[in-house]
Structure 1
């Protein structure tokens, strides 16, 4: 399975990377992400490439707490409709349960878990991330975002009992305290926030039940759309990668962190194939560029990822029964 997250998970990365004296475009490129990824927050990206961004950021900046600090920096702005759903829930506990129920709309790699025991509640992000490069940064980013999430719900009433981190300390206790307000309990079972369970019963005074119902309907619709959007997602990737010639199913499958055979199987379930989507994408791009630009046929051949102009002309003849020049004359006529 390809583990995916929304590109909104990189919300605020440009500003944060600059604050760490990094070139954000260079980090994204090295992680194998398109240069315009920050402009399309609803696009789906490989979680492994997202983790690679954090790992590269940490290594390049020399900041061992890169993921944690990025999470604190970006806060809750990454969640879109999920944030409005939580803020219009009846209580803090309801808000967190709603968040956990629909979190897969944002990220299909892990789950948000609320657990109560002995008068305390635990909030943590559970995922199968042991073999993920940059796992620690992804998990600590979730801790940072979790802190800001609870602050957004509770304001000054958010007083955690403890922060739990799975790893040994990688910075001084003073630095952790400055960032989190507490010194974490290291080498824990999972990365989590522990707090008084009574906080779950606090009513959210500004909640609007009617708006809450509308957002639930919207998220249910998004959920249904996401299950059907794989072909459209592949075509978005093709449009990004065609100019560089990287249009093989092996390359696209690797980008999505899924095997080519598995990708073909999923596309077959949608009644299409990789080759059919590649053909459709090239066809629509060719029409748009011929009608809206003065690009030469040689340039267009390169943009569409063909090896030579003859290959492009043969494909165009197959699509429209005419050469590109003949077709353009017909359109003008």
Structure 2
């Protein structure tokens, strides 16, 4: 389901303490240090990270802390490519529900769409914008706060290596544009890992892919598992930013749809506000309740219909429609085809 990417917290200040990353990212950094024979707990304590990190997405590390941590790691390992090494120690589980949803995506295009929608669960330091032009698909990373070059190295490398695991080992991006400066030691490790042209000191970080590659069905595709984790991602996003009214509304729509009672008044009451206040706050975000309801139903309908075990009748009632004819009319309005025709598409 569509969750508008609203960026980092709206606090009116460019304060890196307000922009956070999931704490389990630190676990991958610790594993990388240990693999190099370095006591990770000593490094973490030195920069002020105390206690155990976990995969709980509510366990967060501020962007400023991540920058200090990476600086310490590069110094202690004397490795300017430390971020690329960390990417090899990240598991999809470190991204919590988003990681599992990415792994169950039907295509790499679905993978990219999920990353755009739910990136804030993993990190609030950048917005992800998915663009299509001609034969190319671009993942553009718009930084909301200054981050270390190692952060960019790690995430780009992790994404490409994960795509190779899901699709095929020979998969490569068309090109990779880094926002960070080129390390003095040169671009060799980047060219080896990405197997594509790389450039540095750009205004934004961009991963560019061939459209045809991103349209291929993935061997591990599991729409049902992906959707379950999409829903979990939305619920945690609502917890992370309680002031994000759009995400809060979508979460309640998903919760109430199967009961068939998912009106604006009920959702407003669940969010502890009046219907008028809800309408006004959504309008401030350029949205409205009916549009969010339609978009959520459409995305969930497409996901359900990709799951071969669900009948059209079952999907109808899961989405809160009174009968299949109403659902079919709505689905044709959304997609231009009937639910049955949609299922028959490759």
Could you state the TM-score of these two structures normalised by the residue count of structure 2?
0.58
Pairs within 5 Å for 1:301-312? none
Pairs within 5 Å for 1:79-90? 79-90=95-106
Establish whether residue 201 from structure 1 lines up as the match of residue 203 from structure 2.
Answer: no
1:183 positional shift: 5.2
Partner deviation per Cα, 1:30-76 (whole Å, 9 max, x = no partner): 22111323586751221211221111101222111112221233253
Partner deviation per Cα, 1:131-190 (whole Å, 9 max, x = no partner): x4xx21212222122222322332225122222223134323433333333452233333
For 1:220, the equivalent position in structure 2 comes to: 234
Establish whether residue 138 from structure 1 lines up as the match of residue 173 from structure 2.
Answer: no
Residue among 160, 167, 183 paired with 1:154? 167
Residue among 46, 52, 66 paired with 2:68? 52
For 2:53, the equivalent position in structure 1 comes to: 37
Q: Which moved more, 1:177-186 or 1:198-207?
A: 177-186
CA distance in 2, matches of 1:97, 1:225: 22
Ranges in structure 2 where 5+ consecutive residues have no aligned partner: 1-10, 12-17, 244-346
- Give the number of the structure whose residues are more often helix, by fraction: 1
Ranges in structure 1 where 5+ consecutive residues have no aligned partner: 230-333
Establish whether residue 163 from structure 1 lines up as the match of residue 179 from structure 2.
Answer: no
Aligned pair count reads 226
Partner deviation per Cα, 1:288-319 (whole Å, 9 max, x = no partner): xxxxxxxxxxxxxxxxxxxxxxxxxxxxxxxx
CA distance in 1, matches of 2:100, 2:86: 22
CA distance in 2, matches of 1:140, 1:106: 16
CA distance in 2, matches of 1:176, 1:211: 33
CA distance in 1, matches of 2:173, 2:100: 23
* Residues 67, 137 of structure 1: 8 Å contact kept: yes
Distance 1:61 1:41, change over 3 A: farther
Tell which structure's C-alpha radius of gyration is larger. 1
* Residues 65, 170 of structure 1: 8 Å contact kept: no
* Residues 28, 35 of structure 1: 8 Å contact kept: no
CA distance in 2, matches of 1:57, 1:203: 39
CA distance in 1, matches of 2:201, 2:78: 22
* Residues 124, 143 of structure 1: 8 Å contact kept: no
Moved over 6 A (4+): none
Pairs within 5 Å for 1:64-103? 64-74=80-90, 76-103=92-119
Q: CA RMSD in A?
A: 2.6
For 2:204, the equivalent position in structure 1 comes to: 190
For 1:262, the equivalent position in structure 2 comes to: none
1:10 positional shift: 1.5
CA distance in 2, matches of 1:14, 1:41: 17
For 1:242, the equivalent position in structure 2 comes to: none
* Residues 176, 207 of structure 2: 8 Å contact kept: yes
